[in-house]
Structure 1
Amino acid sequence: MLAGVLFALTAGLMWGLVFVAPLMLPDYPPALLTTGRYLAFGLIALPLALMDRANLRALGAADWWAAVRLSSVGNFLYYLTLAAAIQRAGAPLPTMLIGTLPVVIAICANHRNRVRDGQLPWLRLLPGLLLIAAGLALVNRTELAALQAAGAGADELRRYAEGGLLAVIAVACWTWYPIRNADWLREHADRSPRAWATAQGLVTLPMALIGMAAVAAVQAQWPGLLMPAGFDWPTGPQPLHYIGLMLAIGLCSSWLGTLCWNEASQRLPTSLSGQLIVFETLAALAYAFAWRQQLPPAATLAGIALLVAGVVSALRIKPVAAH
């Protein structure tokens, strides 16, 4: 249990980095951030595959197909919608919406995996849900007040609403991913979580190459649709910053984060490990405000406290056997 929680904590610290990448490279479109990150992940996975070649050879066609499905939804679609949400609405609102994942996953896994993992009593989950909803409302109110104080017009408010909607899609993607990923890991408890992380990296490489080619084709056919006209594809106006950041999050957030999450998923019930994604939310908020070089407003701190209280409340519930 302790090892599983520590692995989940490390994964959260690594994944929190991806929330500041769109803020550090605001001129780069989400499609380029997504393909760049997973191109780096795929290239990093190539030498790592040599270390795990024996374990990777043991994977069958069904296992590789599972890795493709997991990577396409949990990597590409998730980060594409998340990066777009952050660039439209700023980091706090998408981060807090992602912060609902612990309870959303717990609710989904609570029924679906009740026989395998036990079931959390629904009435005891309700206080945690209410605390998280109150925390989201506080952060959302603070961000909207900041926009209004800055004299935001209808266009800025529309972008804020679009960011919230995109973040909801990202939540749906990352509700599906950890449940399905945990299914595979629990069904293959004798397999290496490190090799499974590397396998997901390997399948992202062709996806990233296809994505880069698609972005280039769209830009050539419809300039300005995905990137500003005259954008210096593929590395943009800050090539060294872009390449360095993509390599950093490709190694730390994609491979190391996935490895630590796989280790946690093999040790913990899905309804519990899903709630520990709160570490990602807290890390992302800390990194985002550090990048802004400002302290969170009091209402945002109160919202974070309510979010943490809601998850802690759910963590204290012990699963009961279901038949």
Structure 2
Amino acid sequence: MTLGLLAAIAATFAWSLLYIFPGLVGDYSLFDLAVVSYGFAGIGSLLVLFFFRNEVRQLPLSDWACAALLGFLGYIGYFFLITTAVLAAGPVIPPVMMGSVPIVLAIAGNMRSSSVPWRAIAGPLVVAALGISLVNLSVFDFSSETVVLPTTSILFGLLAALLAIGFWIGFGLLNESALARRPSMSPMLWSAMLIFMCSVEMLAFIPVGLYLKLSHFASHPSGLAGTQALMVCGLIQGLGATLAGAWAWSIATRRLPLALSGQLIASGTIYATTMGLLLNQRWPSPMEAVGTGLLFVGVVWAIHAFYRRQTRLETRGGGERVIGGE
């Protein structure tokens, strides 16, 4: 369980970088960063697939189809739904809604596997949910005038955000089942398959992004000049946050119950908030500080609950083995 816990922490830390890099690429858009990062991730995944070339030759088409579906649910489709939600409903409401993903995923995982009693996880879930809410609500500036978007646009954005939540919940549940059905497959190989299919899907979605005018690169007057930050961030995001993050999450998914690994996703908010404050060279607001503190308490409380549950099961199992030996 310890290795799974460390892997989940590594994955959520890697994913928290996704909140930081968009602010470091200058005039380029999130879509531009995604295209570059998946380009590097695709190259990295190809190298991993070459390393596992003997196993790759024996993979059935169903494995690749499953990886393509999961890549679409958890990465490409999720990305475009969130982008659509932000464009339609503004930059505040969709991220606030997405803050519910760790809690919903933890609840869905425990409903399916019953890995820990509800009375043991209810407290951590409530505390973490409150912390996430406070951190996300801190982005509202109630003292400033805001542009009122059309109601139909906001409703469309809310629908896209709800679909994005559904996509990621589906990814978490299906990915856990897929790994359970392939106990002998290396998590690194599975992650490389998934990210490689993501890269192929991103190539197919480039025309969609251009049609939606999501790319600033296409209209950038200087062409390739000034793309150093975009390339560096894309390289780190592609190989670190995307490929290595997927690998770490595969390890965590195989070794932890989804009710715990799902809630650990919330720790990404702590990392992203901390790094954002450091980059902006400011102290957290009272709401940010309280929210981050509650989130930290909720995550640590959840880890303690699962460790206590595992210890009891191991003690009970050991006692039964002793009795049986007598």
TM-score for both structures, normalised by structure 1: 0.80
Unaligned 5+ segments in structure 1 are 220-224
Deviation readout 1:185-215 (Å, 9 max, x if unpaired)? 1221111101111111221232122222443
Q: Which amino acid aligns with 1:139?
A: V
Residue type of the partner of 1:15? W
Go from structure 1 to structure 2 and tell me whether the alpha carbon gap of 1:260 and 1:211 turns closer, same or farther (over 3 Å shift): same
The equivalent of 2:79 in structure 1 is 79
1:105 maps to 2:101: no
The unaligned stretches of length 5 or more in structure 2 are 314-326
Residue 201 of structure 1 contacts residue 255 of structure 1 at CA under 8 Å; is this kept in 2?
Answer: yes
> For the structure 1 residues 151 and 260, does the alpha-carbon distance in structure 2 shift closer, same or farther, using more than 3 Å as the test?
same
Match of 1:172 in 2: 166
Counterpart residue number, 1:288: 276
Q: Does 1:255 align with 2:204?
A: no
Deviation at 1:97, TM superposition (A): 4.9
- What does residue 135 of structure 2 align with? 139
Q: Does 2:126 align with 1:130?
A: yes
Structure 1 residue 125: Cα displacement: 3.5
How far is 1:237 from its partner? 7.1
SS of the aligned residue for 1:148 comes to: coil
CA distance in 2, matches of 1:233, 1:61: 44
Range moving further from structure 2, 130-139 or 50-59:
130-139
Shift in alpha-carbon separation, 1:12–1:137, aligned structure 2, 3 A: closer
TM-score, normalisation: structure 2: 0.80
Counterparts of 1:229 and 1:205 in 2: how far apart (Å)? 19
Per-residue deviation, 1:66? 0.5
Matched, 1:202 2:184: no
2: CA distance between counterparts of 1:125 and 1:182? 20
Q: CA deviation at 1:298?
A: 1.6
**Identity score, percent:** 26
The aligned counterpart of 2:13 is: 13
How far 1:71 moved relative to its partner?
Answer: 0.6
- From the superposition, tell whether residues 275 and 132 of structure 1 become closer, same or farther in structure 2 (CA, over 3 Å): closer
Aligned partner of 2:209 among 215, 231, 234: 215
Question: Could you say if the C-alpha distance between residues 82 and 301 of structure 1 is closer, same or farther in structure 2, counting changes exceeding 3 Å?
Answer: farther
Q: How many residues align?
A: 307
Comparing 267-276 with 32-41, greater Cα deviation is found at 32-41
The residue that corresponds to 2:91 in the other structure is 89
2:49, 2:134 → 1: CA distance?
45
Q: Which amino acid aligns with 2:91?
A: A
Corresponding residue for 2:324? none
CA gap 1:214/1:140 in 2 versus in 1, 3 angstroms: closer
Identify if the C-alpha distance between structure 1 residues 137 and 200 changes in structure 2 by more than 3 Å, giving closer, same or farther: closer
Change (3 A) 1:4 1:291: same
Which letter does structure 2 place at the counterpart of 1:188? R
Larger Rg: 2
Task: Summarize the Cα distance change of 1:228–1:108 in structure 2 as closer, same or farther, 3 Å threshold.
Answer: same
Counterparts of 1:154 and 1:103, CA distance in 2? 30
Is residue 36–residue 208 contact of structure 1 (8 Å, CA) maintained in 2?
Answer: no
Q: Write the distance in 1 (CA, Å) between the matches of 2:226 and 2:18.
A: 18
Q: Distance in 2 between matches of 1:235 and 1:282?
A: 36
Offset of 1:42 from its aligned partner?
Answer: 1.1
The one-letter code matched in structure 2 to 1:189 is: P
The amino acid across from 2:205 in the alignment is: G
SS of residue paired to 2:138: helix
Q: How many angstroms does 1:8 deviate by? A: 1.1
CA separation in 2, counterparts of 1:18 and 1:51? Answer: 27
Report the RMSD for the aligned CA atoms in angstroms: 3.5
Of stretches 63-72 and 182-191 in structure 1, the one that deviates more from structure 2 is 182-191
Assess, with a 3 A threshold, how the Cα gap between structure 1 residues 236 and 76 changes in structure 2: closer, same or farther.
Answer: farther
User: How far is the alpha carbon of 1:228 from its aligned partner?
Assistant: 6.2
Shift of 1:109: 1.4
The CA distance in 2 between the partners of 1:274 and 1:84, in whole Å, is 24
**Match of residue 307 from structure 1:** 295
User: 1:100 touches 1:132 (CA, 8 Å); kept in 2?
Assistant: no
Closer/same/farther in 2, CA of residues 59 and 93 from structure 1, 3 Å limit: same
CA gap of 1:284–1:79, structure 2 versus 1, over 3 A, is farther
